[in-house]
Structure 1
Amino acid sequence: MRQLFGKRTILGVATLAALSAGAAQAQQGDPLYRYQWHLMNYGQAVLGDTKPTVAVDLGIDDLHDYNIRGKGVVVGVLDQGVDIHHADLVANVVPNGSKNFDPGRPEHDPTPTTPSYGHGTSVAGIIGAVGWNGIGVRGVAPGARLKSFNGFGDVSTSLSEDKIFYAWWNGAEAQDVDVSNNSWGVGSGSPQTFSENQVDAYEKPMAAARNGRGRVFVKAAGNNYLQRDVGGSRPKCAQVIIDANVGCVQTGLDPRNNLFGVMTIASVDASGRRAVYSSAGSALWVSGLGGEFGAERDVLSDATQTLYRGYFGDAIYSPAIVTTDPSGCAMGYNREDAEAFNRLDHATSAIDASCDYNGTMSGTSAAAPTVSGVAALVLQANPKLGVREVKYILATTARQVDKDQPDVKHANGTLLVPGWRKNAAGRLFSNWYGFGLVDATAAVELAGRFKPLPALVDSGWQRVAPAQAVAIGGAGAPAKLQIAIDRDIAKIEGVQLGLATDYSSASNTPFPLQVVLISPKGTRSTIVPAMTSVSSSAFKLDFVSSNAFLDEPAKGTWTLEIADVPLAANAAAKGKLNSFKIRVLGH
């Protein structure tokens, strides 16, 4: 078993040679396995011009050899639709188990017909591509069963709430799903309306699934750290916000990322650091491996290299994830009418000429299915685990990456985003990585001997709205509101909160308010950093979360602080804090 990042030791030459030989044997069963650095990384040459850093992988090690492959676990993929006939997926696809939402097409066949729709097939391959079948790639959980729900269908391209409900719990095809992968989200910098009734409407059926054990929901954090969409139509983050290095749009602004049953996933690249696009925030749970762009200088045109480097720098040459692509050269990312990024692209490829695979899948969309795959391995090891146990296992076995992550400060010295911080219970947490990079072997080992968590205790929403709103001063004079929690929750599993101000902010300008939540034990969690991108006529957060307080006691006084960070010490306040609410869950 390889170890790194404090838990694992650096590999020696002999060990590297053994791993290389083992990978060569594995490659005989899956020819593209050697390029799947996220599964087994011994520093080998892969697609892209940068080699991965040794041992930056999911820590699967010998699990597959010991037949821990996700057997008996069903994973649902809510996405654009999966090519369920793909030669490297079909054996793992549940017959008639998928749902097509588009009219006029077979009900149980969500295979995309739009040429550019490769996203869902790539996601499904990361999770559960068939292993040892003599072709292509291997999934993180190559024995898991797959179901596809094409919420972003060929006809209706928007994901409506009724489709989410169907795929998450209502639909006939969803009833036996154990893990739900959701590589989608809301990218807007505007806070979303999301009521307490909506929270209940999601969380209650989520927890009731799997005979009351709760379905495991895995969700992409978003690709909005830079909020740059090459050739797309999304609003771009102002350069001054990018320069502040706090992340353009916080992942907690997507309300479903804050649901108690959801694990929100950040993306780590092949060097073991935050991928350039990966959205940050206190709502993160753990990180998966999403890589970067996988481009190769000898393949990609000079013009496109110049364009992408202008946005993302040399990250475009860092490895992406190699996975399945819709069958044939007319569909998906790897198609003849799309520009080639690396040596795997197009029918002229000397690596694989089928166009059934691509080596450019990246984003938190790729990181999330790596975690879904690990969750499937965990559930094979112990099918009786509930969602709370799976979440806790993945968090407490995750590996600290980029342990020298720097603090981000304002020009006046105010701390905006802390690096890694240890909370009062001794748990390390980062607004870039959550609890760290998932470790499959450590998680499976713990799952096999894990005792069920005590019954969930919910404080319910507690709130304060003073008759006189509190002026929001500068960094030295923040507005404060406090709430006392008297429920005896010895160990926190999640914290949700909301707030309302009368502070107005223009679109795409640095948002000056710093929002911090402080636990009774003194742990500080940055909920919204100043200098990020927020647009609101009167800044209000209906529903946001922080996972930074895991295992701390909940009882005592919780403090919300909001400061107008750039405001001069002697300047008049420009807004007031009107209300604060909080809900703590744990045992």
Structure 2
Amino acid sequence: MPAGPGSIARVHLLQLPAATFCILSSLSVPTRADQSTSCEWWGDPCPWPLDGECDQSFSTRCENGDCFDCDPLQEHHYDCQSCISAQGYWCPGDALCRGQPLNEAYYSFTLGLFAGGGELATSIKTSCPLAQDWQQTCGPAHHDNVFSDPLYDAMNWSYDMINVEAVWRQGITGAGVHVRINDDGVDASHPEFSQRFDVANSCQEAYLPLPPINNDSNEDIHDHGTACASIVGAQHDNNHCAVGIAPGVTLSSCTVVNPLIFNQGAELFVKQLQEVDISSNSWGPSPCKHKFARTRFLQQQCPFEVDHQISPCRICGGNLENNGMDLEDGLCRRSIIHHCTQFYELDPIACAEYLDLFVDCNYHALSPTEHQVFVRAITEGRNGKGIIFTFPAGNEFPYGSNANLDGFVNSRFTIAVGAVDKVGKRTAYSTPGSPVLISAPGGDLEYISNNIVAKPGGGCHDAGAGTSFSTPVVSGVIALMLEVRPELTWRDVQGILVVTAQQNDPDDDSWNTRNGAGLNHSYFFGFGLVDAFAAVELAKTWELWDPEIQIMVESGTINLNISDDPTQSATSTVTVPADYVDFVTESVVVYMDLQHGSRGDLAIVLESPSGTESLLAPSKRPENTQLQGEEHWKLTTVRNWGESASGNWTLKIADEAAGILEDCVDVKFDYYYDADGTLLHIKCDSFQNTTACLDGQILNDVVHDFIVDNGNGPISAAEACCVCGGGVQVDDIPHILESWSMIVYGHNAIMSSNTSQQNGTNDTTSG
């Protein structure tokens, strides 16, 4: 995926590919003897049905030689009339055109295993499961549709879910509201944005009109950003594609693609500061991502509870009883990786034990420059009311990631957005965490189509699924709110979204917390699914909040030992005075001065005076970067929204992974580019992944000059990175919480004259 600002560890556009069902690619690769000269699958790492590659002549999986992916109309005719004119069959709910009507047999198939035996039955969901559901004529638009756009029906699942049609019927479309799309650029020439794209207030080269796309090499130009812009504000009643959530907004764009010059990238957030109302961002760093294999040993007994024909408990066989089995390579290791990437949400406890096999985590924090840019945007933007920032929670749940590991997502200045599937249930990818505020439709890969949007070059297509596409839904809803109530501040908007959210899928087990203010919060859904109608109606009469108030309490120096025993828990308590009994909490931020050889092993919980618990860090993640100097580990929760702040707040820390996997751990270092003084935050795995460093040696002379001789930061890569010969030995690191502080943000406090800070007490280690 394209890169963006943040760190050299790559920033990703948070999009999942459309209709990809390659669930066994990590288990096996076909031999060249399987190649057929009459099909196009050779070189395809995923030779399965519904993978986007034509496998027509491959084995017998394509019955009668007619695959789903081989249909000549599969990527064309994204409207009914052109499909029927091509003598095709049309499925309006999925915006699909096919040369013949499909039935359930095409959506349910068996994936075989090349080695090790076994097979896995799977299926894909569609709105046209029967042959008779496919149309050969184009009837009139559904009588309940608010607008006449040709692909309206294909996005109606999203419109219905967020109750936006009731808003449109009032004539509210986001008119007069300016939404900035920070992404990979937008095709400003697309008819969906006609006369509503603000070139003057866009960033250079982010909005350039594209020529007609005639070859595959150009198809990805501005694709992601154009899709996000389409979801926010595609035009209504213009005979193109579907309609955006706020089809009357003004749009602009800034390209966020360069991780090496983030000081310039951060400034994009405040470009034309007074012209922008909403900053919609569908990108972010990947705190946890796939990595190179690490040596690992399998536990004695099979820990996986979810069984299927190719589960590790079956593939590994008798090896499960061999405690000395090296999992660095082989089918058993690959079966664990496959199982946990495909079924993580069904087997999270067992898979968390094996994340180090295939995941690396490098927690991301905002730099001082990034933080100051946000401060400027929310204090100066919109004439002091603040630019409203939306960010995706992330797509890294299968990698064990958490929303608190991303500095953009756990900032109180941003609205962290999770994703639900096409029926409002939990997706397999949306990253959970205590900072997640709200959720919105994002789709999921088990559906044959998800988000039908504008395509660069003038057409339409299915952009796929992801929090990339739930985030602009929320941006669009906020635009509708601002049209009816432009004086709302950035905090008012958050407050309205919280109290109007729908509790989607109430049977989901993540709805296990009702806080002291009576609000339900899910780590996956936040306070629930965004409700456009309820949010707009409340915005009309909302009583504006007073300016933000901050309550800060500190523990003082405690040097609290963190035991390597998972049954032991270190606890520390701080107290907010009774003077703040009427204070209304919004968000809570914890800052820790902590030393640990593997902080990813730590489960960190904050308990409020009301008894509400927030899991701030999930434990058992392979992350061991050491904090340096004045750095603090920052973690955020919104689960205390609406509670009183007065009383005891308790921090609980437990090391849930006994022992340390690595002998040496990295230190974060800065690099200052001499040309303009740009500060770069570079991570050590960049040198390992490019083999610039190996086994403690710097192998590349150019890289050596870059990271050692030309840098003027306080520490070089040769000192900071284990792979380059630096780092810190784990045995030299004490496992202690030196001190911690907490800031409670909120409003309408009633205080006495005593406003002094209160030091913490009752610091203990308990079993």
Does residue 381 in structure 1 map to residue 484 in structure 2?
yes
Which among 473, 480, 490 is matched to residue 370 of structure 1?
Answer: 473
Q: Taking structure 1 as reference, are residues 459 and 452 closer, same or farther at Cα in structure 2, changes over 3 Å only?
A: same
Deviation at 1:111, TM superposition (A): 5.8
Q: Taking structure 1 as reference, are residues 82 and 503 closer, same or farther at Cα in structure 2, changes over 3 Å only?
A: same
TM-score by length of 1: 0.72
Provide, for residues 77-99 of structure 1, a one-character-per-residue CA deviation record: whole Å limited to 9, x for no partner: 00000000101112321242321
Whichever residue aligns with residue 542 of structure 1, its letter is: W
Report the 3-state secondary structure (helix = DSSP H, G, I; strand = E; otherwise coil) of the residue aligned with 1:83: coil
Distance in 2 separating the partners of 1:255 and 1:73: 27
Report the 3-state secondary structure (helix = DSSP H, G, I; strand = E; otherwise coil) of the residue aligned with 1:258: coil
Does residue 206 in structure 1 map to residue 378 in structure 2?
yes
Distance in 1 separating the partners of 2:209 and 2:412: 29
Q: Taking structure 1 as reference, are residues 523 and 259 closer, same or farther at Cα in structure 2, changes over 3 Å only?
A: same
Whichever residue aligns with residue 212 of structure 1, its letter is: G
Whichever residue aligns with residue 447 of structure 1, its letter is: A
Distance in 1 separating the partners of 2:370 and 2:744: 17
* Residue number in structure 2 paired with 1:178: 277
Which among 180, 190, 197 is matched to residue 93 of structure 1?
Answer: 197
Deviation at 1:65, TM superposition (A): 1.8
- Kept in 2, the 8 Å contact 1:290–1:363? The answer is yes
* Residue number in structure 2 paired with 1:482: 573
Distance in 1 separating the partners of 2:591 and 2:563: 16
Report the 3-state secondary structure (helix = DSSP H, G, I; strand = E; otherwise coil) of the residue aligned with 1:146: strand
Distance in 1 separating the partners of 2:650 and 2:284: 29
More displaced 10-residue stretch of structure 1: 368-377 or 481-490: 481-490
Which among 633, 636, 643 is matched to residue 545 of structure 1?
Answer: 636
Deviation at 1:566, TM superposition (A): 5.0
Structure number with bigger Rg: 2
- Kept in 2, the 8 Å contact 1:220–1:264? The answer is yes
- Structure 2 counterparts to residues 287-306 of structure 1, below 5 A: 287-293=439-445
Distance in 2 separating the partners of 1:98 and 1:582: 38
Which among 543, 565, 577 is matched to residue 656 of structure 2?
Answer: 565
Provide, for residues 493-518 of structure 1, a one-character-per-residue CA deviation record: whole Å limited to 9, x for no partner: 11111224322239xxxx43211011
* Residue number in structure 1 paired with 2:517: 425
Deviation at 1:202, TM superposition (A): 2.4
- Kept in 2, the 8 Å contact 1:195–1:542? The answer is no
Distance in 2 separating the partners of 1:478 and 1:27: 56
- Structure 2 counterparts to residues 162-561 of structure 1, below 5 A: 162-169=263-270, 171-172=271-272, 174-188=273-287, 189-194=361-366, 199-227=371-399, 248-293=400-445, 315=446, 317=447, 319-327=449-457, 356-406=459-509, 419-460=511-552, 462-472=553-563, 474=565, 476-486=567-577, 488=580, 490-505=583-598, 511-537=600-626, 542-561=633-652
Deviation at 1:576, TM superposition (A): 2.6
Which among 109, 118, 121 is matched to residue 226 of structure 2?
Answer: 121
Deviation at 1:401, TM superposition (A): 1.4
Provide, for residues 356-382 of structure 1, a one-character-per-residue CA deviation record: whole Å limited to 9, x for no partner: 111133211101000000000111121
* Residue number in structure 1 paired with 2:91: none
Provide, for residues 302-348 of structure 1, a one-character-per-residue CA deviation record: whole Å limited to 9, x for no partner: xxxxxxxxxxxxx2x354211111115xxxxxxxxxxxxxxxxxxxx
- Structure 2 counterparts to residues 60-79 of structure 1, below 5 A: 60-79=164-183
Report the 3-state secondary structure (helix = DSSP H, G, I; strand = E; otherwise coil) of the residue aligned with 1:372: helix
The two structures, once aligned, show a CA RMSD in angstroms of 2.8
- Kept in 1, the 8 Å contact 2:598–2:622? The answer is no
Q: Taking structure 1 as reference, are residues 534 and 483 closer, same or farther at Cα in structure 2, changes over 3 Å only?
A: same
For CA contacts below 8 A with separation 6 or more, give which structure has more relative contact order: 1
Whichever residue aligns with residue 217 of structure 1, its letter is: F
Deviation at 1:541, TM superposition (A): 5.7
Does residue 32 in structure 1 map to residue 151 in structure 2?
yes
Distance in 2 separating the partners of 1:62 and 1:319: 25
Distance in 1 separating the partners of 2:224 and 2:463: 11
Distance in 1 separating the partners of 2:147 and 2:178: 27
Whichever residue aligns with residue 418 of structure 2, its letter is: A
- Kept in 2, the 8 Å contact 1:472–1:562? The answer is no
* Moved segments of 4+, more than 6 Å: none
Distance in 1 separating the partners of 2:735 and 2:280: 40
Deviation at 1:60, TM superposition (A): 0.8
Report the 3-state secondary structure (helix = DSSP H, G, I; strand = E; otherwise coil) of the residue aligned with 1:62: helix
Report the 3-state secondary structure (helix = DSSP H, G, I; strand = E; otherwise coil) of the residue aligned with 2:390: strand
Q: Taking structure 1 as reference, are residues 119 and 36 closer, same or farther at Cα in structure 2, changes over 3 Å only?
A: same
For structure 1, the residue ranges without an aligned partner over 5 or more in a row are 1-19, 42-56, 103-107, 228-247, 294-314, 329-355, 407-417
TM-score by length of 2: 0.56
Distance in 2 separating the partners of 1:74 and 1:551: 30
Distance in 1 separating the partners of 2:444 and 2:145: 24
Q: Taking structure 1 as reference, are residues 528 and 23 closer, same or farther at Cα in structure 2, changes over 3 Å only?
A: farther
Equivalent pairs counted in the alignment come to 453
Deviation at 1:478, TM superposition (A): 0.9
Whichever residue aligns with residue 513 of structure 1, its letter is: L
Whichever residue aligns with residue 519 of structure 1, its letter is: S
Report the 3-state secondary structure (helix = DSSP H, G, I; strand = E; otherwise coil) of the residue aligned with 1:37: helix
Distance in 2 separating the partners of 1:359 and 1:547: 33
Provide, for residues 46-85 of structure 1, a one-character-per-residue CA deviation record: whole Å limited to 9, x for no partner: xxxxxxxxxxx11113211211111111100000000001
Report the 3-state secondary structure (helix = DSSP H, G, I; strand = E; otherwise coil) of the residue aligned with 2:374: helix
Q: Taking structure 1 as reference, are residues 458 and 159 closer, same or farther at Cα in structure 2, changes over 3 Å only?
A: farther
Q: Taking structure 1 as reference, are residues 451 and 27 closer, same or farther at Cα in structure 2, changes over 3 Å only?
A: closer
Deviation at 1:282, TM superposition (A): 0.7
Q: Taking structure 1 as reference, are residues 389 and 553 closer, same or farther at Cα in structure 2, changes over 3 Å only?
A: same
Deviation at 1:551, TM superposition (A): 0.5
Identity in percent: 29
Which among 559, 563, 575 is matched to residue 735 of structure 2?
Answer: 575
Report the 3-state secondary structure (helix = DSSP H, G, I; strand = E; otherwise coil) of the residue aligned with 2:472: helix
Report the 3-state secondary structure (helix = DSSP H, G, I; strand = E; otherwise coil) of the residue aligned with 1:394: helix
- Kept in 2, the 8 Å contact 1:323–1:361? The answer is no
Q: Taking structure 1 as reference, are residues 60 and 477 closer, same or farther at Cα in structure 2, changes over 3 Å only?
A: same
Report the 3-state secondary structure (helix = DSSP H, G, I; strand = E; otherwise coil) of the residue aligned with 1:175: helix
Report the 3-state secondary structure (helix = DSSP H, G, I; strand = E; otherwise coil) of the residue aligned with 2:499: helix
Deviation at 1:36, TM superposition (A): 0.3
Whichever residue aligns with residue 161 of structure 1, its letter is: F
Provide, for residues 93-119 of structure 1, a one-character-per-residue CA deviation record: whole Å limited to 9, x for no partner: 1242321258xxxxx637699542310
Whichever residue aligns with residue 435 of structure 1, its letter is: F
Distance in 2 separating the partners of 1:322 and 1:502: 48
Distance in 2 separating the partners of 1:463 and 1:197: 25
Report the 3-state secondary structure (helix = DSSP H, G, I; strand = E; otherwise coil) of the residue aligned with 1:149: strand
Deviation at 1:22, TM superposition (A): 7.4
Provide, for residues 10-59 of structure 1, a one-character-per-residue CA deviation record: whole Å limited to 9, x for no partner: xxxxxxxxxx9974464872000110034434xxxxxxxxxxxxxxx111
* Residue number in structure 1 paired with 2:309: none
Distance in 1 separating the partners of 2:539 and 2:485: 6
Distance in 1 separating the partners of 2:198 and 2:521: 38
Whichever residue aligns with residue 167 of structure 1, its letter is: L
Does residue 80 in structure 1 map to residue 169 in structure 2?
no
- Kept in 1, the 8 Å contact 2:392–2:417? The answer is yes
Distance in 1 separating the partners of 2:504 and 2:265: 33
Whichever residue aligns with residue 276 of structure 1, its letter is: A
Distance in 2 separating the partners of 1:559 and 1:40: 42
Q: Taking structure 1 as reference, are residues 565 and 386 closer, same or farther at Cα in structure 2, changes over 3 Å only?
A: same
Whichever residue aligns with residue 374 of structure 2, its letter is: Y
